Structure 1
Amino acid sequence: MLCQLSINNFAIVRFLELDFSPGMTSITGETGAGKSIAIDALGLCLGNRADASSVRPGASKTEVSARFSLHDVPLAKRWLEDNDLELDDECILRRTIGSDGRSRAYINGNPVPLTQLKLLGQLLVGIHGQHAHHAMLKSEHQLTLLDSYANHRLLIDTVTASYQRCKQIEAELKQLEASQHERIARKQLVQYQVEELDEFDLKVGEFEEIEQEHKRLANGTELVDSCQASLYLLTDGEESNIESLLNKVVSLAENLQSYDPALTNVSTMLNEALIQVQESAGELQHYLSKLELDPAYFAYLEERLSKAMQLARKHHVSPDKLAEHHLALKAELTTLDDDETKLEEIQLQVEASKSAYLANAQKLSQSRARYAKELDKLVTQSIHELNMPKGKFTIEVNFNPEIMSVNGSDNIEFMVTTNPGQPLQPISRVASGGELSRIGLGIQVITAKKVATPTLIFDEVDVGISGPTAAVVGRMLRSLGESTQVLCVTHLPQVAGNGHQHMFVNKFNKAGSTETTMTPLDKEQRIQELARLLGGDTITSNTLANARELLQ
């Protein structure tokens, strides 16, 4: 619950430090005194938007801090633990707004983004404003009220997750379908190219081999002539050849070596040269014996070489890269085939995800229908107590599988009849302003009892209510305060008198500036304030007696 609120230089507040107690706290004051100023300041600690206009004129910044007890608030404790924000039995939210409009937020002294302040604030405080009953006319707010009462958070999370899964798969399908025409055209082209290259069937490295073999056969005559001429010079020349000349030189060198050992190396090198010449001649003889100049094979090579170069030009690659290009096209064709299979799979996934979504949405809808009946009885009983004895309230929950949203597939309509003999109609068409206020207040009190928020604020929600109805409202809020801390800003003495404690808001001028204060009232002060609310500026013995009666 909220234990303490400190306000510095906020709007017309110079400084306030307020201690709050369990139960229902009534907050009253004269018109224009700023009864909601503490609520507005607390809103800053809960992450509400703020700008430089929040800063009291002449001050450099506004600073507001709120201290909460976390006793019996397990959700808030778990949130603090999950976010590593110094878990303890108490929690302090602080917010500063500079005169330049810059804002800073803190949780237990740790600077945090404003979004974290909002998330934690939702677990600590629930605020019901004076215009909440107007929001009740909107279908989406009616849905929120029903889900809050039924505590559908987990069911809605499941529906939201399945909805997002549906949209994700549908987006993938849409993307694949959008490119399907281009993909089909590309597949036809690639398939033709692959078939053409399959037929040619050039292997990796084959072009280089063909090119080399073609070059050899194209120069076959020159190869034969050159080999024969080389053999003639090496060994076959009748008058002289290199082998016979080397033999003579080797003999001379061997004789010289016998005279002078210093010539041994010369003799050795000449012998090695003779051996090299003889081996070279043998290699040439062997090469010539195996050399075949097959015109048919040469024609085959020339045709294949020409075809490879033609296909390379067609595919805009170099001939030596044609085989790799062929493999790349085959891989692309496989991918395109996989895309077709993937398209079929995603179409099946879309149907499956829609079925899963509708199953979850149906489960949520059934739970809503069950809790709607329960809420129908409670709200009808409440509006009977609020001086609408013949009124009847019901919630229509209509499941529509054509609707898909993060909140399910339901159409929700609050229906009401306020007079006997009249049929149930949408609340927006039937209820007057006063009736709407009473119905809205009844729903807020009932749903607040089911929501595990430790502090509830009702900011002038009793507008448009008076007399005996106001007394019923006061008793409702006091009853709620028995289990939950309730802060109620009100102008009605019948409501204020039901508070377990009472705070008075006063606005005054001091040294040419305006200030607002907020002070707790003791019993006698409460009687005076209730008498003022009952009788205005003139307080009589009758209004005082009436005020004492309200406090009893």
Structure 2
Amino acid sequence: MLTLLHIRDFAIIENLELETGAGFTAITGETGAGKSMLVDALGLLLGGRADSGSVRSGCDKAELIAEFELGDDSAALDWLRQHDMEDGSVCLLRRVLTSAGRSRAWINGSSVTLSQMQELGELLVEIHGQNEHIRLTRGDEQFRLLDAGDSHPEQRAAVEQAFEDWREADGQLQALDAEDPLPAGELELLNHQIEELEPWALSAEKYAALESEHRLLARGGDVVESLQAALDVLEDDESGIGHRLNELVERVSGNAGADADVANAEKALREAAINCEEARSSLQGALSRIDLSPEKLADLDARMARLHALARRHRVGPEQLCEVLERLRTRCEEAGSREERRRALEQTCARLLEAYRKAAGKLHKARARRAATLSQAVTELMQVLGMEGGVFEMHLDHDPEGPPSRRGDDRIELRVSANPGLPPGPLKKIASGGELSRISLAVKVAASADRPPPTQVFDEVDAGIGGETANAVGHLLRSAARDGQALCVTHLAQVAVCADRQVRVLKSTGDEATRVRTHVLDEDERVDEIARMLGGNLSEQSRAHAQELLHGALTRH
């Protein structure tokens, strides 16, 4: 329940404080006095969007504060506990707007985001504005009213979760489809290229060895002759280098201990002899492997020619064919994997869509029960609001083949017959502006009947009505506030007399400044204000009429 609203330097309001209580409070005053500014300020405290024009002219900032008293079973109190902002049973909202267009918000002294303030605000107050009847023709507002309260929160949550699960899988499938697929026939080409390269693709090291062997055989006899001559020099028993080195080692080794230089010489000669032996062995091995047959050379020529041809085809060097083969294999595997992933995602999407359809079907059944209840309740209220014989229908269409959505597979159409004997038709086509306003009020009251918010604010929802209908609206608002709190900005005396208390908003101009203040009316002041609202000058007759209205409203309850 709202207990205090404090406004400073907002619009034309310099400093205003409004204390409220339980029950029905009527807010009245001359046109332009600033009544709706109280509602605007409260809307900003509930997370509404603001701009620099909200700040009073000549001021740097505007400050708005609202204090609420919460019950033990309040959903708002649970929210505060979940966010570690609980401060007993009190909830204090504060917002500061600067002339530069910036804004800051606090809940019980903790700095919060606007989205957090909006979350909590929805649990504290519901504002019914002057254009509610226009909103009522919009699908999102119709679903909000249908899904309000405790009739089917579990079914609605199940649909939302099922939809999110399906949408995530469907998004993955669409992203996969958006990837560049292989053109028709390219997979076959990839497999052909892989089969062609597999026998030939050599690593860089193996290709280097093959190239070296080819160069060796291409020079043929010249190479063999040179190598054999070198081997003969090393191997000759009498004059070969190896034999002579071994003799030198024997001659020097006997004197190696006499001098360090001799020892070094002896060591170098031994190493030379060893190296000479290794060279001889390597030459023998090379000569034994060299195949000078024409067939061998022809085979190597053919292999090198094939490797160079494949390299030209793939525009790489022969030593890079192995890398080309790996890239082709990877691309082929990815293409196959993509199809497998797509089949798996299609199966997942189908399974999740089926789960969504089942959840949406259960939600539809729960909504149908709620729609029937609301239709009956609104129809009954229409009789009270001057539309005798009128009928209201909240018609639901269920489309299990339609595109999935967070709201399920239902489509809503509000149908109404404002006159007896006529079949209900679409609300926005059948009802007049005045009828729309009354139907909108009836829908709001009926929708919140099972679990009304702690505070309901009605901003001139009685526009365009009068007479007995205005009386009915006043009593309806009083009934809506019976177990909670309702504030109504009104110009109608018939509505104001139904309130438990009445607050007048006054605007005064002086010292080149405009000031707005509020005043809770006592019994005599209230009679005068009701008389003023009835029109004409204050007189004993108008006061008597006002007293009669107040007495009638009191005795009716």
Once the two structures are superposed, residues 462-486 of structure 1 have per-residue CA deviations (whole angstroms, 9 ceiling, x without a partner) of: 2233333333322222222121211
- 8 Å contact kept, 2:77–2:86: no
Q: Residues 294 and 439 (structure 1 numbering): CA distance in 2 closer, same or farther, change over 3 Å?
A: same
Once the two structures are superposed, residues 84-129 of structure 1 have per-residue CA deviations (whole angstroms, 9 ceiling, x without a partner) of: 5465432222222222333222223333332322222222110001
More off after superposition, 290-299 vs 12-21: 290-299
Residue 116 in structure 1 maps to residue 103 in structure 2: no
- 8 Å contact kept, 2:191–2:332: yes
Q: Residues 540 and 304 (structure 1 numbering): CA distance in 2 closer, same or farther, change over 3 Å?
A: same
- 8 Å contact kept, 1:253–1:263: no
More off after superposition, 103-112 vs 483-492: 103-112
Shift of 1:214: 2.2
Shift of 1:425: 1.9
Shift of 1:12: 2.0
Secondary structure at the aligned position of 1:525 is classed as helix
Shift of 1:53: 2.3
- 8 Å contact kept, 1:403–1:410: no
Q: Residues 200 and 540 (structure 1 numbering): CA distance in 2 closer, same or farther, change over 3 Å?
A: same
Match of 2:69 in 1: 69
Match of 2:386 in 1: 387
More off after superposition, 224-233 vs 379-388: 224-233
- Summarize the alignment of residues 181-220 of structure 1 with structure 2, pairs less than 5 Å apart: 182-184=182-184, 186-200=186-200, 202=202, 205-220=205-220
Q: Residues 480 and 230 (structure 1 numbering): CA distance in 2 closer, same or farther, change over 3 Å?
A: same
Q: Residues 246 and 445 (structure 1 numbering): CA distance in 2 closer, same or farther, change over 3 Å?
A: closer
Q: Distance in 1 between matches of 2:401 and 2:321?
A: 54
Shift of 1:334: 0.7
More off after superposition, 266-275 vs 309-318: 266-275
- Summarize the alignment of residues 314-333 of structure 1 with structure 2, pairs less than 5 Å apart: 314-333=313-332
Shift of 1:208: 2.6
Q: Distance in 2 between matches of 1:247 and 1:373?
A: 117
Long gaps (5+) in structure 2: none
Amino acid at match of 2:131: H
Q: Residues 487 and 246 (structure 1 numbering): CA distance in 2 closer, same or farther, change over 3 Å?
A: closer
Q: Distance in 2 between matches of 1:432 and 1:38?
A: 29
Q: Distance in 1 between matches of 2:456 and 2:11?
A: 23
Long gaps (5+) in structure 1: none
Match of 2:470 in 1: 470
TM-score by length of 2: 0.88
Shift of 1:338: 1.1
- 8 Å contact kept, 1:150–1:368: no
Q: Residues 470 and 222 (structure 1 numbering): CA distance in 2 closer, same or farther, change over 3 Å?
A: same
- Summarize the alignment of residues 231-270 of structure 1 with structure 2, pairs less than 5 Å apart: 231-236=231-236, 240-242=239-241, 245-246=244-245, 253=252, 257=255, 265=263
Match of 2:25 in 1: 25
Residue 446 in structure 1 maps to residue 442 in structure 2: no
Match of 1:545 among 532, 536, 547: 547
Q: Distance in 2 between matches of 1:152 and 1:295?
A: 91
Match of 1:500 in 2: 500
- 8 Å contact kept, 1:151–1:451: no
Shift of 1:543: 1.7
Q: Residues 286 and 388 (structure 1 numbering): CA distance in 2 closer, same or farther, change over 3 Å?
A: closer
Shift of 1:40: 1.3
Q: Residues 178 and 123 (structure 1 numbering): CA distance in 2 closer, same or farther, change over 3 Å?
A: same
Q: Distance in 1 between matches of 2:354 and 2:260?
A: 103
- 8 Å contact kept, 1:507–1:517: yes
Q: Residues 205 and 88 (structure 1 numbering): CA distance in 2 closer, same or farther, change over 3 Å?
A: farther
Q: Distance in 2 between matches of 1:139 and 1:200?
A: 68
Match of 1:401 in 2: 400
Secondary structure at the aligned position of 2:343 is classed as helix
Q: Distance in 2 between matches of 1:189 and 1:262?
A: 74
Q: Distance in 2 between matches of 1:259 and 1:482?
A: 123
- Summarize the alignment of residues 93-492 of structure 1 with structure 2, pairs less than 5 Å apart: 93-148=93-148, 151-179=151-179, 182-184=182-184, 186-200=186-200, 202=202, 205-236=205-236, 240-242=239-241, 245-246=244-245, 253=252, 257=255, 265=263, 277=276, 281=280, 284-285=283-284, 288-289=287-288, 291-404=290-403, 405-492=405-492
More off after superposition, 56-65 vs 349-358: 349-358
Q: Distance in 1 between matches of 2:149 and 2:280?
A: 107
Shift of 1:326: 0.7
Q: Distance in 2 between matches of 1:459 and 1:534?
A: 19
Shift of 1:226: 2.5
Secondary structure at the aligned position of 2:147 is classed as helix
More off after superposition, 74-83 vs 390-399: 74-83
Q: Distance in 2 between matches of 1:199 and 1:242?
A: 46
Q: Aligned pair count?
A: 550
Shift of 1:447: 1.4
Q: Distance in 1 between matches of 2:55 and 2:516?
A: 14
Q: Residues 197 and 532 (structure 1 numbering): CA distance in 2 closer, same or farther, change over 3 Å?
A: same
Q: Distance in 1 between matches of 2:334 and 2:3?
A: 65
Q: Residues 15 and 219 (structure 1 numbering): CA distance in 2 closer, same or farther, change over 3 Å?
A: same
Amino acid at match of 1:546: E
More off after superposition, 220-229 vs 275-284: 275-284
Q: Residues 37 and 272 (structure 1 numbering): CA distance in 2 closer, same or farther, change over 3 Å?
A: closer
Once the two structures are superposed, residues 501-540 of structure 1 have per-residue CA deviations (whole angstroms, 9 ceiling, x without a partner) of: 2211112222232222111122232233223333542332
Q: Distance in 2 between matches of 1:232 and 1:43?
A: 108
Q: Distance in 1 between matches of 2:287 and 2:306?
A: 31
- 8 Å contact kept, 2:151–2:370: no
Shift of 1:457: 0.3
Secondary structure at the aligned position of 1:200 is classed as coil
Q: Distance in 2 between matches of 1:231 and 1:223?
A: 12
Q: Distance in 2 between matches of 1:13 and 1:364?
A: 47
Amino acid at match of 1:428: K
Q: Residues 86 and 294 (structure 1 numbering): CA distance in 2 closer, same or farther, change over 3 Å?
A: farther
Q: Distance in 2 between matches of 1:286 and 1:434?
A: 112
Q: Distance in 1 between matches of 2:144 and 2:285?
A: 98
Secondary structure at the aligned position of 2:360 is classed as helix
- 8 Å contact kept, 2:388–2:420: no
- 8 Å contact kept, 2:203–2:320: no
Shift of 1:267: 6.1
Identity %: 39
Amino acid at match of 1:543: H
Q: Residues 278 and 411 (structure 1 numbering): CA distance in 2 closer, same or farther, change over 3 Å?
A: closer
